[in-house]
Amino acid sequence: MNLLKNINYPEDLRKLKKNQLQQLSEELREELIDVVSETGGHLGAGLGVIELTVALHYVFNTPNDKLVWDVSHQCYPHKILTGRKNEIRSLRKGNGLSGFTKRTESEYDPFGAAHSSTSISSTLGMAVAKKLSNDKNDVVAVIGDGAMSAGMAYEAMNNAGALKSKLIVILNDNDMSIAKPVGAMSKYLSKLLSGKLYFSFRETIKMIISSFSKRFSKKAAKAEDILRGIVQGGTLFSELGFYYIGPVDGHDIDHLVQILENVKYSSHQGPILIHAITKKGKGYKPAEDSGDKYHGVSKFNVSTGIQSSSKSSTPSYTKVFAETLIKHAEKDTKIIGITGAMPSGTGLNLFEKKFPNRMFDVGIAEQHAVTFAAGLTTEGYKPFAAIYSTFLQRAYDQVVHDVALQSLPVRFAIDRAGLVGADGPTHAGSFDITYLATLPNFIVMAASDESELVKMINTSVTINDRPSAFRYPRGNGIGMKLPGINETLEIGKGRIIKNGKKIALINFGARLQECIKASEELQKKGIDITIIDARFAKPLDEKLILETAVSHEAVITIEEGSIGGFGSHVMQLLSDRGIFDNGLKFRSMTLPDLFIDQDTPYNMYEKAGLNCKSIINKIEETLSSKIVFAKNKNI
C-alpha cells in the first residue's frame, strides 16, 4: 500500500503508526528524485533530510509548532508533506513553487530563506515572542554544518544561551562519517541524555550540589562533561548555553522520533541542540557518488543520473573569469583567489587546481572574506574576492569600513549580476551597482560581453590604490573573441558603439545586445540612435556623457540593476552641470522597484521592462513626449 498518496498535510502523517514511517520515508525519497529529475534544482540536501523531515512533522504540531529550515535548499520534502504535493512539479517555474521556503506560499513556512545561517536568529525571535505571549508551542530550527561556518549562527547561539528561551536547534551534519560515533553506545546515551529521567535527574543534582561547596559543584559538573564527552563533542555548544544531545543517526527514523519526543515533552527551559549525522544524497547512488552530492542539478535521467545540459558554443562568464585570472596568476604570484563556500559557482575551483596554496574558500562567511581580503592587500597581495552579487550584500559594512574607507585595492568579481531565472529574487543580483557606486574610492565596472569582462579583469589587476569591482551575468557569453591579458581599459572611459541622431542610449552592463537589436528595429522606422557602452558607473565618463547630452534631444540610460544605480549617477551629473536647463529629455531604465519571482530569463526581462521591445517603446515614447506641468498643487 502506498502511504504517500494519502499524505497531504502533516496531520495525515501523524495518523500513521511509528512502524510505517520508514516506508513513508522511502516513498518520499523516490518521489523527490522523480520530481527533481523533471524540474531540476536542489537534490542532495533534500535526500539527506528525508527521515528528519518525516520525524519532525510526525512529532511536532506544525504549523502551530514553528519549523524553520536554514537556507532551505533542503525543503522540497517538507513542501511535499505540507499541502504542496500536487504543485511540486511547478518548482522554480513561473507562477510555480519557490525553490526555497516562502512565507506567502504556505503557513508551514514561517520564515523565508535562501541565504544561509539565519535560522537560529529568526527562531530565537519566535521563541522569545512565544514566551512573551505565554504560547507553549515549540520552535525548531534545522541548520546544516556548512551554515554553521557563518558568524551569525554563533551570534544567535550566544544570545539564545543568555536568554534561556526554549528553542530546539537541529544541527544537520552531513560532512562527518557516522560509522564510529553512531553505534549502539552512542544511541543509548543520546536517548538517555534526551530523556525525561535524565533531564529531571540533572536538575535535581543541580539543586543538591548548589547547597554544597563550589569545589564539589565543579567536580559534579566535570563528571557530567565526561559522560557527555563519551557521546562526542558538544563542549562548544554547552559553553554557549545549549543543552547538547548527540550525535544521532539522522537516517534512523525510530531513533529520531524518540529523541524528538523526549525533547518536545521535556521540562527543560532553555535552548537545546540535537546533533544529527546525515548523508547528503542519501538513497540515490549517483548523488552519493558525486563529489557535490548532486547539490544543484539540471533535469536528469533517474536510471543513469546523467544530467541534461544546455548546449552552447560559448563559454560561461564564470569560466571566462576563472581562466583569465589563472593566466594572470601564472605571471603574478601576488594574485589570490577568495570565495565563500562557492568554489565551483564562481569558477575558483579551476583556479584552485592550478594554485592550491593561493585559493581560499572561507566558508559561508562573506563578512570575513572581505576583511580577510583587505588584510591581504595591506601586505602587498592582490586578492580577488569572487562573490555572488546577492551574497556580497551580507558583507556591506566590511566593504564600506574595511575596504573603501581605507582605499584598499581589493578586487571584487561580482558573479550572477542581474536576474538569475529559476533561483528567483533571493539570488538576483539587483543592488550591487547602487550599493557600490555610492562609495567613495570605488571603481565600478560592468561587462557588456565576455571580451569586455576580460579587459575589466586585466584592468583590475593594475589598480593598486583603491578597490575595484566588475560585475557580470549568469550564463554564457555571446561569442566574442577574447583579448589577451595585457589589454586594459582607461579608467572611467566608455565607448561609442554606434553614432546616431536625436536620441542616445547609454548602456551599463549586459543589456547591450538588446540595445543593438532595438537600434536595428528602429532603423527600419527611420529612427537612428546613438549607442554608448558606459563600462564604468564610477568614475563616470563625464566628458562623453556631457558631450552626448548637449548634442542629442534625449538621453536614456539602461542597466540591469535597481533604482539608485548608474542612471542616478548620470542624472546627478547632468543636473549639476545644468544640462536639463536646456530642455534635455532624460529617462532611466532600471530593474523595477519590486522583487521579481522566478521564471524563464525571457519572461523576467519582459516583466522587468529591459528587453528589446521595452527599449523600443521607451525610445518612441521619449521622442514623442512633451513637457506636461501638473495643475494639481498637491502633486
Nine-digit cell string for 368: 570575513
Assign 627 a pLDDT band (cuts: 50, 70, 90). Answer: low
The pLDDT of residue 524 is: 96
The pLDDT of residue 423 is: 94
Which residue is listed with cell 548555553?
Answer: 241
| Burial profile 350-359: b = 16 or more Cβ within 10 angstroms, e = fewer | bbbeebeebb
How far is it, in rounded angstroms, from Cα 118 to Cα 102?
14
- 585 contacts 486 by C-beta, under 8 angstroms: no
Q: Considering only 115-119, 223-227, 350-354, which range has the smallest mean pLDDT?
A: 223-227
Residue 207 has pLDDT above 60, yes or no: no
- 10 contacts 21 by C-beta, under 8 angstroms: no
- 345 contacts 323 by C-beta, under 8 angstroms: no
Please provide the DSSP assignment of 148-162 as one string.
GGSHHHHHHHHHHHH
- Phi and psi torsions of 382, nearest 5°: -120, 80
List, for residues 523-557, the tens digit of each pLDDT value.
999 999 999 999 999 999 999 999 999 999 999 99
Nine-digit cell string for 538: 564610477
- Look up residue 480 and give its DSSP letter: P
List, for residues 452-511, the tens digit of each pLDDT value.
999 999 999 999 999 999 999 999 999 999 999 999 999 999 999 999 999 999 999 999
Coil, helix or strand at residue 583 = coil
Residue 343 has pLDDT above 90, yes or no: yes
- What average pLDDT score do residues 326-339 get? 98
Residues forming the active site? 280, 366, 394
Residue 198 has pLDDT above 70, yes or no: no
The pLDDT of residue 308 is: 87
- HSE on the CB side for 550, CA within 13 Å? 9
Q: Considering only 91-105, 203-217, 283-297, 547-561, which range has the smallest mean pLDDT?
A: 203-217
Residue 33 has pLDDT above 90, yes or no: yes
Assign 290 a pLDDT band (cuts: 50, 70, 90). Answer: confident
- What residue type is 311 in one-letter code? K
Q: How many helices (H) and strands (E) does the chain have?
A: 26, 19
Domains of the chain from N-terminus onward: 4-291+293-297 (3.40.50.970), 317-471 (3.40.50.970), 495-624 (3.40.50.920)
Q: What predicted TM-score, i.e. pTM, was given to this entire model?
A: 0.89
The pLDDT of residue 274 is: 95
Helices 196-209 and 184-194 pack at an angle, to 10 degrees, of 60
- What average pLDDT score do residues 349-367 get? 96
